[in-house]
Amino acid sequence: MKLLTLKAYGFLAPALVIFGIVTFFPVLQAFYLSFTRYDILNPPQWIGGANFSRLWMDPLFAKVLGNTLLYLVGVVPVLVTLPLVLAVLLNRAVPGVGGFRVLYYIPVIIPMVVAGVTWKWVYGESGLINGLLRAVFNLEAVPWLTGEGSLFAVMLVTIWKGLGYYMVIYLAGLQSIPAQLYEAAALDGAVGWRKHWHITVPLMRPYILLVAVLSAISAMKVFEEVYVMTRGGPINSSKTIVYYLYEKAFTNLELGYACAVGVILFILLFIFSLVNARLGNLREDSTFNS
Amino acid sequence: MVMGGALVLAGCAKEQAARPLEFWTMQLKPDHTALLEKTLAQFTRENPSAGAISWVDVPWADMESKILAATAAGTAPDVVNLNPQFAVKLAQRQALLPLDEAVAPEAQARYFPSLWQANRLGGITFGVPWYVSTQVTIYNKDLLKKASLTTAPRTYRDLQTQAQAIRRTGKYAFLPTFDTAQVLESFVKMGATLVSPEGKASFNSPAGRAAAQYWVDLYQAQLIPRESLTEGHRKAVELYQAGETALLLTGPQFLQGIQKNAPALAQITGVAPQITGVLKKTNAAAMNLVIPKATTRPELAVQLALFITNDTNQLALAKAGNLLPSTRQAAQDSFFTMAGDAATEGRRVSAQQLATAAVLIPPFTNLDQLQQILYEELQGAMLAKKSTAQALRDATTRWDLV
């Protein structure tokens, strides 16, 4: 092996060792534990695929899986498109644009617990939204977090909080597009949204793909919002996979079963990322071919 | 090399022998730091072999995860303060030291029998009772007056009637807490048995159905806030402190918080005995001290648990924290019969109930899962997703599968 390669491995070794200990080892252990009955306090007992067959028959798991997919469908398209629109609007050299960028980014730096507690007040029976509805339209209080549509109320918080983060990614992408392209398009008669449709969107595809994958992974793993705002309720209507995993592991002390839930989540995320990457490659190929 | 190894081993053995006893409490700092430190120093003086006790105070919300992690890692403390609901999870997994033989019968007799029994699972004692609280009804005199009510409710029937009167003023009577055993206890108070001696569901009885219907009616008539479905005890306290609810069904120790956070409200706050059902039973909630099986010094750990929960030390803590002691003699102190402000009155009312109060839901295996199942099904009925009868049938099926 070349000296250079050896040196490279030498430099990589500390990070790889730490990564192996804190990431790969726990991941492998979780795979092993998913085939056991384990309650943290006593040694794990090998039970083969029993946890997975139980998952298959578990109506609550089907429910939380459905909720998580609904969350994905509700959150990801908005988090892919809305920040792009915002980024285009804020990618101009106009006075005060920096202030707007900061304003949109503020929710990102607010801790989820603080945001969740605040939004609980906003959604509350005598909270801001219901107060306005009552004062302006004389409407009855809407059970935003206490009705069966509570998941949608939680989705809105995720969108509000993620908007600024993805907007910054898009802004970085937009600033890498040469201005001459827009000037040339303008000379060719492309104005308004057509300019963005034919220049911005195609050139931003890698960024759109990145945001889609990041927001989808984040949506599949949603936990804090649910924990702070609804605890999965009422009657499991806002319970998601990771919350269910947490509940099984740390409330019911069924670590083996919780690991099985985690393995399913891992497989879903893996497939999702592969599909996204594949679609991204196809789009890139077709762009270059055309 | 052999000598070096021997020296290392000797060093380890010395360290093991000198390792101080470790004692974990639940959120007693900073209010009771001086008192606990004094108590622990006194124990060390009386038991020099124990060394200086290492006291770790853990926030309430973190205790479960921390004790689980420590037990799994083999670094559990020697004595831990837990509530019986969580302690039972450890006990059913054989993680706690059985105390029946470790604690002499005369020492056991110092505690209220019902509280001692509340720390038993499958005939084995897993904990020593520590401080206690019996729920009282804290009420806002002004809001009751506005609703033309002269007394606080004493029974669940009163509570329902008064909830209607209070609702007419635009406020709510109270927020039931589905994150505690409050609603589950109401089933027992209304005459229902939760599980049979064989562990099978027995709550789907006429009394159980009446209890479930009670909560469904309150919710559907909008006599309790909709937040009841997703919020818990903390929200109940917040709503009371904000003057949004007229009643707070909780332990008297929360009166100190009301005095501190809402002094004006404390002036118009009264205290009445615990709400009862047809059985006229009152519930007591006890904190306990348990000894993880992994302790390397079980005898000293038991001695420490008994020392902290003796009459003198319990009385001192009760006086400092507006709590009640779990020992009979300490509860006789005149401190618990004094009259005064809302906090003092709360202590007096709570102490008065102590002699007849019992832990209405004694520990049994998977108690937390029963609570979860019953609450989920009950909430389904409250949201009119199913009838109350169907909710109890579904809860029975689910519990019998656990």
Q: Is A118 on the interface with B (CB under 8 A)?
A: no
Selected residue of B96, B226, B376 to mutate for chain A interface (largest A Cβ count, 10 A): B226
* A78/B305 Cα distance (integer angstroms): 57
Average pLDDT, chain A: 89
- Select from B50, B36, B25, B12 the least CA-distant residue to B295: B50
- Give B98-105 contacts, CB < 8 A, sequence gap 24+: B98/B124, B98/B125, B98/B126, B99/B125, B99/B126, B99/B127, B99/B128, B99/B291, B99/B302, B100/B124, B100/B125, B102/B298, B102/B299, B102/B302, B103/B128, B103/B302, B103/B306
Q: Is A44 on the interface with B (CB under 8 A)?
A: no
- Select from B244, B235, B139 the least CA-distant residue to A126: B244
Selected residue of A63, A113, A122, A146 to mutate for chain B interface (largest B Cβ count, 10 A): A146
pLDDT value for B8: 42
Domains identified in chain B and CATH numbers: 20-133+286-352 (3.40.190.10), 136-283+361-400 (3.40.190.10)
Residues of chain A with pLDDT under 70: 1, 280-290
Q: Is B379 on the interface with A (CB under 8 A)?
A: yes
What is the identity of the amino acid at B59?
Answer: P
* B290/B281 Cα distance (integer angstroms): 27
pLDDT value for B39: 95
Q: What is the dihedral of CA A251, A256, A258, A262, to 10 degrees?
A: 160
3-state secondary structure A76-104: HHHHHHHHHHHHHHHCCCCCCHHHHHHHH
CB contact under 8 A, A235 and B227: no
pLDDT value for B85: 81
Average pLDDT per block of 10 residues along chain B, 402 residues long: 43 53 91 93 92 90 86 90 88 92 93 90 92 93 95 95 95 92 93 90 94 96 92 90 94 87 92 91 90 92 96 92 89 88 88 85 85 93 94 94 82
Domains identified in chain A and CATH numbers: 34-289 (1.10.3720.10)
Given a contact cutoff of 8 angstroms between Cβ atoms, the answer to whether A142 and A58 are in contact is no
3-state secondary structure chain B: CHHHHHHHHHHHHHHHHHCCCEEEEECCCCCCHHHHHHHHHHHHHHCHHHCCCEEEEECHHHHHHHHHHHHHCCCCCCEEEECHHHHHHHHCCCCECCCCCCCCHHHHCCECHHHHHCCEECCEECCEEEEEEECEEEEEHHHHHHCCCCCCCCEHHHHHHHHHHHHCCCCECCCCCCCCCHHHHHHHHCCCCCECCCCCECCCCHHHHHHHHHHHHHHHCCCCCHHHHCCCHHHHHHHHHCCCECEEEECCCHHHHHHHHCHHHHHCEEEECCCECCCCCCEEEEEEEECECCCCCHHHHHHHHHHHCCHHHHHHHHHHHCCECCEHHHHCCHHHHCCCCHHHHHHHHHHHHHCCCECCCCCCCCHHHHHHHHHHHHHHHHCCCCCHHHHHHHHHHHHHHC
CB contact under 8 A, A40 and B68: yes
Q: How far is CA A222 from the centre of its chain?
A: 7
- Mode of pairing for the β-strands spanning B79-82 and B22-26: parallel
pLDDT value for B7: 41
Selected residue of B227, B368, B376 to mutate for chain A interface (largest A Cβ count, 10 A): B227
pTM: 0.82
Q: Is A124 on the interface with B (CB under 8 A)?
A: yes
- The residue of chain A nearest to residue B171, with distances taken between CA atoms, is A126
- The residue of chain A nearest to residue B381, with distances taken between CA atoms, is A235
Given a contact cutoff of 8 angstroms between Cβ atoms, the answer to whether B308 and B287 are in contact is no
